[in-house]
Amino acid sequence: MHKKEYRIGELAELAEVTRRTIHYYIHKELLPPAKGAGVNSYYTADHLNRIKLIRKLQESYLPLAEIRKIIAPLSPKGVLEYLEQHRENVQPLASMVLVQEPALEMSYRTSSAPILYERVELGENIELHFPGELREIKPELLRSLIENCRRIIDHG
């Protein structure tokens, strides 16, 4: 369990980034500024969670401008929900795409977190994109779809 207030050095160490990176994220409006001023300034658990989320999204090769669009509207609770939802992801993040607007077929979702789409390469220049939740909700359907698509592409 982490404490609730951090000096910049503590935050940088916990988030595994440099102080300069924290200042850069603040400058780019990816993070809110520190609370307080001067030597009395401090950062919160929300700052730490947002940095973790930024790093996770960077693994998906998203530019910082796109990451800002995704995380800016999230409340501290929304950031936590997003991190929890994708903590145990087995698919490499490099093959996922984030979408901020919920898809119509996923309208049952109650979370305000963006939907994480997974990408599977089926063949040369052919990809399948699907909500990552589908892997847990309907794994057999997804497996069958991928296998059949690959079979058609290979023999087509």
Q: Do the beta carbons of residue 146 and residue 126 sit within 8 Å?
A: no
* pLDDT at residue 61, rounded to an integer: 74
* Look-up of token digits 């599977």: 120
pLDDT for residue 93: 44
How many angstroms separate the CA atoms of 132 and 38, rounded?
Answer: 43
Whole-number Å distance between alpha carbons of 45 and 146: 40
The domains located in the chain, with CATH, are: 1-87 (1.10.1660.10), 88-156 (no CATH)
Supply the pLDDT for residue 105. 45
Q: Is the pTM of this model over 0.75?
A: no
**10-residue averages of pLDDT along the chain (156 residues):** 82 95 94 91 95 87 85 90 68 45 45 70 82 79 87 82
Task: Give the separation between CA 122 and CA 125, rounded to whole angstroms.
Answer: 8
